[in-house]
Amino acid sequence: MQTAVQKAIYPGSFDPFTLGHQDIAERAARLFTSVVVAVVNNPKKQPWLPIETRLQLTRNSLAHLENVTVVDFDGLTVHLAQAHQAGTLIRGLRALSDFEAECMMAQMNQQLAPDIETLFLMASLEHQFLSSSAVKEVACCHGDVSRWVPKPVAAYMKTHSPLRPKPTAL
């Protein structure tokens, strides 16, 4: 049997990049020859951080991994995988919360590109309940988020807060 090219794509919003994301990227980097972390540039999702900032913080958080590169993209993940000749999409899976949406996405991607596999890595126990949204929620109320995000993200968030949008007038 022929061995597939050992390259994987790990896509996500990373708004912001957390220790849960870092853990998945590090584990993927051990499994594959090279990993492309792809930061989704989709303004429709109305991210807190602009794409340039998400890219920079993700890059700084993964600088210790020689076989990992970080790019931005704004189309279908399977097209990005094809462009990079990557045969695997990596997704992180937290208990319960991710299952349905991830299943749906994996099924869609399988139909779009049957030769690309989605590989789920279970979130580590300590990251099961960690999400970018929760981090933003705490930061909004001036809470310390440094235990949940890599150092570059913690440093950034000390001076930048994802304030709640102002309520609109009636």
Nearest CA among 21, 12, 46 for reference residue 130: 21
From candidates 127, 135, 136, 152, binder to ligand ADP by CB under 6 A = 127
Question: Rounded to the nearest whole angstrom, what is the least distance from the CB of residue 116 to ligand ADP in the complex?
Answer: 15
Tell me which H or E stretch contains 134. helix 132-140
**Token pair 């704004």 is at which residue?**
74
Q: Is 27 a catalytic residue?
A: no
Residues in the chain: 170
Per-residue binding string, ligand ADP, 10-39, x by CB under 6 A, is --xxx---x-xx--x---------------
The residue from 34, 94, 124, 146 that is catalytic is: 94
Q: Is 7 a catalytic residue?
A: no
Nearest CA among 98, 86, 89 for reference residue 118: 89
Q: Is 45 a catalytic residue?
A: yes
The residue from 21, 54, 84, 136 that is catalytic is: 21
Which of 46/168 has CB closer to ligand ADP?
46
**Residue type for 37, please?**
V
